[in-house]
Amino acid sequence: MSETLPDIEAFTEEVRDWVTKNKPGKQDFLLPQSFMEVGTDQQFEFLRDWQNKVYEAGYLGMSWPKEYGGRSMPQEYQDIASRELARQKTPFMVNTIGLNWAGPLILHMGSEEQKKAFIKKILSCEEIWCQGFSEPDHGSDLGNAQLKAERDGKDFICNGSKIWTSLGTYAKHMILLARTDPNTNSKYEGLTFFLNPMDIEGVDPVPIKKMTGEYGFCQTYFDNARISEDCIIGKEGEGWQVAMTTLMFERGATGGQAGGHSMMSTTIEEVIDLAKRTDRDGACSTEDPLIRDELVKLIMTSRAMGLNAARARIPALVSERPASIPMSGKLLGSEYAKKLGEVATSLQGANASYYVGDDNAIDGGRWPRGYLNAFSATIGGGTSQIQKNIIGERVLGLPKPPRTN
Amino acid sequence: MNTRRDIEFSEEQQQLLEIAENFCRDKSPVAAVRTQIEVEDGFDTGIWKEMADLGWLGIAIPEEFGGSGLGMGEVVTIAEPLGRNLLATPFEATTLAAQLILDAGTDAQKSDWLPRIAEGSITALALSEEHGDWDLNHVTCEAVKNGDTLTLSGTKTLVTDAKRAEIILASVKLGGKTALVLIDRSALADSALTRETVIDETRRSFRISLDGVSVPAANVLNAAKTQSALARHHKLSCLLLSAEACGGTAACLNETLEYLTTRRQFDRFIGSYQSLKHTAVDILTGMEAARSFLYHAATVIEEEDGETAVRMAKAQSSEIFSWAGDRAIQFHGGFGFTYECDAQLYRRRAMWNTNQHGDAVYHRKRLAELLLD
């Protein structure tokens, strides 16, 4: 760290300039809005090349150590670059699981070999990572993971399946939560966390067709797949703790992410712009009183989330229930995004029925597709209903229902 | 977007909030609220005196007129705990009247009246009329000028604490334009005041007949500044009403949670049922949004963004306070239907609060004009 750091303003200027010059122009295909929605090779290759370009320019993994492929710079610089990439609406960073989950985890608790082997290729997008937490029978109940990993000498033999593995067919590695000891007192014990190779015998990612008609997730089957104990991160039997650490990285609570944005969120400004382009009763939609009310409600919801975040930074104004705002962010954000898609679609009158692929679909059909895809966030990572249970119990202190068997 | 001021909260505000929270909790437990409902004046003169001694009535009055020269952002920190503890006093009306005088009063009016208000002279606002329109320019009461005297006529409604007020600030039409006139309470005969029966029993509200009342012409506020003063008055009223509603919602939610965690039905705590639990969470998140809007509005109230901010605060807080009160009654079941259950106090307060200066629909309509046109 003997080098002097660039001046903040000059750096901001430099990034802005680079992004303006290098951001991709319009494609002749509709891009996905997040890594969970990548459905074609064309989309994947485009996004992979873009992430690689950003990395090669030096705007990704800036705060990660130099010896593993980062630049060892203060987080502030990465934040500036990330903000600029988002502001200019560039495509998102496709290796999301690598950048936000696996990478920070490996840097935090991985071995020297693991750091050397994985970190740089996560940033350059040479090796894609996917996530193997959820199972078909245990959606929101992560601690109940049942995929079996039985010890056989220095290896483990894995059987079972994982679901919602985004980028499963492109991934080189999976962060995998598996049950290595089925005879424990608590379901949270006996789990082990692996950095699992995807290109071995017995691991088979099968794409799932989503309700949008597109692909984007896999169910990954393990059929006597043999993985080495060297793939363990953390300790055998302590996978739950490692998974929780990973989720903290996901929620951005502890920092450490490589940077770049991981999705292209639809904004209320875009929906207002759309409203101004659509008609109702021979006039612009924004003259219809009920549409106006609907838009104002959405603007308020959007603004409330930003203001909640601002208030959460002032301890005196959140003293009664400090956990309330942080714990409700996922619920509010995902429900808002879905509502935004729904209202945006409804603005289009009869044309709201066109879908991706039809020439008459407004904006290539991104609105109805966005609405349908928005369910991934109201369901994934704990459904909105589970979120309300959690907030009700942990923030409001309401009782859990009695156990039934 | 990045340069916009979101929420700022000073050390002074933090101290005031803490003091006011403790004060209101001590002075106004629910039992005391219920006692005051039965009392003629509806508030405790001793508490009013203490509030004046604490300097609360002069918070936003400049030092040269005997106040402490802070702003409405500081007043919010008093109004929220007052609302939380259903402590009904002439605080809001007196504070708002002082701002009207400050904005549109002549030099003489300011130096005559503001120091008295800062010391605790109760001031009533007579701006509403029988038509019930929120438009502050929809005024039918009249003033006719004869030399140095104004002769008033017409009826003002929903004037809180008029009986105990020393000063009444009323809106009238003078030469076809809305004018604000200061009326010394002693200029009104007792028979000019009729107590009204209102939804919020913690309030004392009066109908005032101005027929035959005369005041000196010098009591009219500056005509050139009246419109801007009324526009600001609407914003400030919304700000304090939002603060009251946020406080009220918090107390109402806690009241409901207490019942949900102690009442058992079908062998389980009723708060373990998701239909009740999830609704409680909806109230919580709605309340958090309202409070974020409130303190944002408190931050930017005197700036260009102030109107948008305060209308969002009023729309959200009115709606969530009403919903919290509505669900509080429902979730208390049969007990909730009784007068004895405190849920009604919050629901009835919420109705009063919402009906002042525009409900949620009214403000969203204005917001649409501000944000979409």
- Is the CB of residue B231 less than 8 Å from the CB of residue A367? no
Mark yes or no for CB contact B365/A289 under 8 Å.
yes
Helix (H) or strand (E) holding B64: none
Residues B45-87 have pLDDT tens digits of 999 999 999 999 999 999 999 999 999 999 999 999 999 999 9
Q: Active-site residues of A: which are they?
A: 250
- Is the CB of residue A256 less than 8 Å from the CB of residue A101? no
CA distances from A348 to A143, A279, A343, B115, B222 (A): 43, 8, 9, 59, 51
Reported as a pLDDT band with limits 50, 70 and 90, residue B317 is very high
Least confident stretch, B1-10, B18-27, B223-232: B1-10
- Is the CB of residue B257 less than 8 Å from the CB of residue A398? yes
Chain A: residues touching B (Cβ < 8 Å): 272, 286, 289, 292-293, 295-297, 299-301, 303-304, 306-308, 310-311, 314, 316-317, 320-321, 324-325, 328, 331-332, 385, 388-389, 391-393, 395-402
- Helices A41-57 and A8-22: crossing angle in degrees, nearest 10, is 150
pLDDT at B202 over 90: yes
pLDDT averaged per 10 residues, chain A (length 405)? 79 96 88 88 95 97 96 92 92 94 94 96 97 83 89 96 94 96 91 96 95 90 96 95 84 68 86 96 97 98 96 96 94 96 96 95 94 91 92 97 80
State how far residue A32 is from chain B, nearest Cα, in angstroms. Answer: 26
Helix (H) or strand (E) holding A148: strand A148-152
Mark yes or no for CB contact B272/A401 under 8 Å.
yes
B293 interaction partners in chain A (CB closer than 8 Å): 300, 303-304, 307
What number is the ipTM of this complex?
0.96
- The average pLDDT across B30-39 equals 97
- The average pLDDT across B20-45 equals 97
Residue with tokens 């290539």: A364
Cα–Cα distance, B301 to B324 (Å, whole number): 26
- For the domain A8-127, what is the CATH superfamily, name and number? Acyl-CoA dehydrogenase/oxidase, N-terminal domain (1.10.540.10)
pLDDT of residue A1: 46
Pick the CATH number of A268-395 from 1.20.140.10, 3.40.50.720, 3.40.50.300, 1.10.10.10: 1.20.140.10
A130-250 folds as: Butyryl-CoA Dehydrogenase, subunit A; domain 2 (2.40.110)
pLDDT at B109 over 70: yes
Q: Which of A79, A293, A318, A398 to mutate to test the interface with B (most CBs of B within 10 A)?
A: A398
pLDDT of residue A54: 97
Residues B110-154 have pLDDT tens digits of 999 999 999 999 999 999 999 999 999 999 999 999 999 999 999
CA contacts within 13 A on the Cβ side of B109: 24
Q: Which of B2, B7, B12, B362 to mutate to test the interface with A (most CBs of A within 10 A)?
A: B7
For chain A, the domains span 8-127, 130-250, 268-395
Q: How many C-beta neighbours within 10 Å does residue B197 have? A: 6
pLDDT of residue A140: 64
Q: Looking at the DSSP assignment, which residues form a beta bridge with residue A238?
A: A191
Model pTM score: 0.90
Residue with tokens 């005032």: B208
Q: Which domains does chain B have, with CATH numbers?
A: 11-122 (1.10.540.10), 125-225 (2.40.110.10), 226-372 (1.20.140.10)
Nearest to B368 among A296, A311, A321 (CB): A296
pLDDT at B193 over 80: yes
Cα–Cα distance, B85 to B32 (Å, whole number): 10
Mark yes or no for CB contact A307/B364 under 8 Å.
no
Nearest to A304 among B280, B289, B367 (CB): B289
Mark yes or no for CB contact A398/B6 under 8 Å.
no
pLDDT at B304 over 50: yes
Q: Looking at the DSSP assignment, which residues form a beta bridge with residue A204?
A: A221
- Is the CB of residue A147 less than 8 Å from the CB of residue A222? yes
